[in-house]
Structure 1
């Protein structure tokens, strides 16, 4: 590998704080070379990296002109040249086109089972994302039954399901019904949800397979009557190392003593360190891996993990024993362990909201139930975790969507008492220090030749904010801002390199309150290219914008920010902005309907 190519991989990995490092960037490039044109979700499935991580890597590759701006993505000539330097310019795909690498193919005779299970899923309980539930597809359900048949666990034998939000008990029953006879001697479901258990009982009653259901919190040991009674167990536990260890331990509790009993284990893709912890739990239980299939499981609505997970066939040994013999205490589900909220974007309107600890919505399920706070709709696209310590200017640049239409100015507030100014122009010494930190970049008023670069800034902001639904044609943004520039270019400021090329821009417009006649400024946009001193350049731009306001006698600057956009709110706080108002929206019927 050349030093230059190696440096590119390292820079991209560092820019997105990729735990997998440069090898993770290589995997994305390799997958793109093989699959192009490819969507972010397709690349996530191919690499086992979460969708937000793949999207972030893709954005960094685009900034370096290695990947096309058009979606689905392709490599640019520069990207192909990089792959050639890395010795990776080979598109050979050895994955089986019949099973797509899953090793099992659903026979035609079971197509009916797939259709029936799809209907049962539509009528069944919704997934509770707060406890890491996410329903696998009907095809996955049938493949899991085929895995039991292929392993010799079925027909005959007894099966223990440690949790069954995927309704595998019904899949076993439906497959048996389609084939004309039950394929299991005994199937028992242990689950905490009375809704799931009630639905299983209701449906199984008419399918000819006896399904036993036990309502039980798996934080406690299995009931005595279930211990040591089963030939095989299956579980799709919470996606944490603790969840894997506990649910696998409960599965081991239920198996008959001795070696070579099967545990079928489904799990989502995690970082190498997390997967090391999970595999250590498996070894601590005295289990060995008999088979492992990547992307065997497909899930509905699991966008952040690309909608896929692996399927592992484990066998007991003479050393197998439960690791949790008493009650389990401590974090178990992903939400229990999460110390940071995650940003989600409303696909309908682009509003960014936070979900998780300390946020208004503790889970994405709660957000979906209530709807977007801005438009009342959804769905929601997962983004990155909210940093515990935000490098304010840099993060705000990456996550603040540019306006897609002229923004109506918020009326300037008129407090009863004269407010204390939250910002003062920097002293000459402070201004000189800031200029030194931001060197060699300087600020100036934007002009028409800058519009192509400004269009690139706004298009990139849109891509980061809205993903594949973004209006990401720089020409569109250049045209929009060109029309705005024709009306008034004051407050349009760029930071430029010594050769004049823009490396960032800020837009602050001056407006008049229609009610009071007072003039105020509206902070509309801020963006900076990836630079070593990016945060300093952002501060220089915003300072220039506020100095422009002060020079025009403006006493108040307002800014509209989505309620969930914490980084931009942090920038506001850094410069002394105070929250003063909340925009509320009510939708009314069309006039012709209202008149009836």
Structure 2
């Protein structure tokens, strides 16, 4: 996005809320001509004097005017439409989605098409803590980005994407832009360790004309320098360990632009009070603001160990935001590495007992079922014992 005008306005106003606030004010005026200064203050939760100061600078650069309320000038409308990407948007649908006034039937055709897309995604690899969220959850994450003004005209990165959030984001853009997501000025990147996922998303991007680019990447390594400080928004659903959360959020911070108010949408399991407190301390140590916690926001298929649900934690960057893990990471990360549990499974046919666990021949029960019992190749087992490695 060409941000020269916004940068200039930001430089003229004494504020710590970030440039995104100025963009949001301009959009509020664009979508509601004649809006009052007081209503802008209520919508943005900003002090009235600060809104007045921002309004004054936007008038100076010719983007808005005070005339029977606050309105965009012709230049301001062009800026919102051409530079920010709101020109060819289905305004009515956008407003209904933003203010939760939409009906599921409005997206029925899109969701029907996505059903086959989600059914075709690769099987989860539990050794790297993958779990498949439902299609509805993936789309709800995309709508959440829209409500946070983090969808249109943004550079978005998904750190891991076995949930196909990138695809839901792109399909929602196609719906909003009458089948041409490129008009949104949005670019979506996927960084993923599993080449099956990157191959599948790349295939979808090509066949469905989606603004998505994928890179195979292991977050335990340092990120390529060309991607640092480039993005407006981060999505991640990391391993549900303290180490996994810290590493993935740290990588997200490194990828975000150095600005205040940029969101990280973190999906994470519901945890004990002690774990949650430690997690919140880590957020504070990294200079991140927790703006909302949405319990049971995410639903998963076959993830009984977490009750098939997890929470959505919306984090926001501040002037003090910094990563807690800067360079490569060489410690335990995934659940199987952190919690060295060995499970004993008994074959239902021949009663042979097989050990399953980290760094063993069979690391997961899914792997054992796929290969079959070492004694008779039967595929049904009973868990008879669980012990620490």
Q: For this structure pair, what is the TM-score category when the shorter chain's length is used for normalisation?
A: 0.5 to 0.7
SS in 2 for 1:203: helix
Distance in 1 (alpha carbons) for counterparts of 2:112 and 2:187: 24
Gaps of 5+ in 1: 1-102, 389-596
**In the alignment, is the contact (CA less than 8 A) between 2:239 and 2:333 conserved in 1?**
yes
The aligned counterpart of 2:154 is: 157
In the other structure, the counterpart of 1:377 is 379
RMSD: 2.8
Q: Which residue of 1 aligns with 2:165?
A: 168
* Cα shift at 1:117: 2.4
2:137 paired with 1:140 = yes
For the pair 1:197 / 2:198, whether they are aligned, the reply is yes
The two structures have a TM-score, normalised by structure 2, of: 0.67
Structure 1 equivalent of residue 275 of structure 2: 274
Q: TM-score, normalised by structure 1?
A: 0.44
Given the superposition, is the C-alpha separation of residues 120 and 246 from structure 1 closer, same or farther in structure 2, using an over 3 Å criterion?
Answer: same
User: 1:372 deviation in Å?
Assistant: 4.9
Q: State the match for 2:175 in structure 1.
A: 178
Residue by residue over 1:92-129, the C-alpha shift from the partner in whole angstroms, topping out at 9 and shown as x without a partner, is: xxxxxxxxxxx998732223333322211222221111
In structure 2, relative to structure 1, the CA distance for the partners of 1:239 and 1:309 (3 Å cut) is same
Q: 5+ residue gaps in structure 2?
A: 1-99
Stretches of 4+ aligned residues off by more than 3 angstroms: 103-106, 342-354, 357-360, 371-375, 380-385
Cα distance in 2, alignment partners of residues 201 and 372 from structure 1: 36
Aligned length: 285
Aligned residue among 123, 136, 139 for 2:120: 123
Offset of 1:322 from its aligned partner?
Answer: 1.3
Aligned to 2:236: 235
* CA positional deviation for 1:366: 1.6
Structure 1 residue 367: Cα displacement: 1.8
Deviation at 1:320, TM superposition (A): 0.2
Give, in whole Å, the separation in 2 of the partners of 1:348 and 1:147. 49
Give distance in 1, aligned partners of 2:207 and 2:115. Answer: 17
Q: Report how far residue 346 of structure 1 moved.
A: 7.5
Q: Distance in 2 between matches of 1:106 and 1:381?
A: 44
Q: Looking at both structures, which has the greater relative contact order when contacts are Cα pairs under 8 Å and sequence separation is at least 6?
A: 2
1:195: Cα distance to partner? 1.6
In the TM superposition, 1:94-493 aligns within 5 A as 107-179=104-176, 180=178, 181-182=180-181, 183=184, 185-342=186-343, 354-357=355-358, 360-372=361-373, 376-378=378-380, 385-386=386-387
- Structure 2 CA distance for aligned equivalents of residues 278 and 383 of structure 1: 33
Q: How far apart, CA to CA, are the structure 1 residues paired with 2:248 and 2:174?
A: 29
Q: Residue deviations 1:487-515, cap 9 Å, x none?
A: xxxxxxxxxxxxxxxxxxxxxxxxxxxxx
Kindly provide the CA deviation profile for residues 419-476 of structure 1, in whole angstroms up to 9, marking residues without a partner as x.
Answer: xxxxxxxxxxxxxxxxxxxxxxxxxxxxxxxxxxxxxxxxxxxxxxxxxxxxxxxxxx
**Any idea what SS the aligned residue of 2:167 has?**
helix
SS at structure 2 position matched to 1:156: coil
- C-alpha separation between the residues in 1 aligned to 2:345 and 2:223? 37
Give the direction of change, closer, same or farther, for the CA distance of 1:116–1:271 in structure 2 (3 Å limit).
Answer: same
Structure 1 residue 274: Cα displacement = 2.8
Cα deviations across residues 144-173 of structure 1 (Å, max 9, x unaligned)?
101101111122211111111111111112
The 8 Å contact of residues 288 and 315 in structure 2, kept in 1 or not, is answered as yes
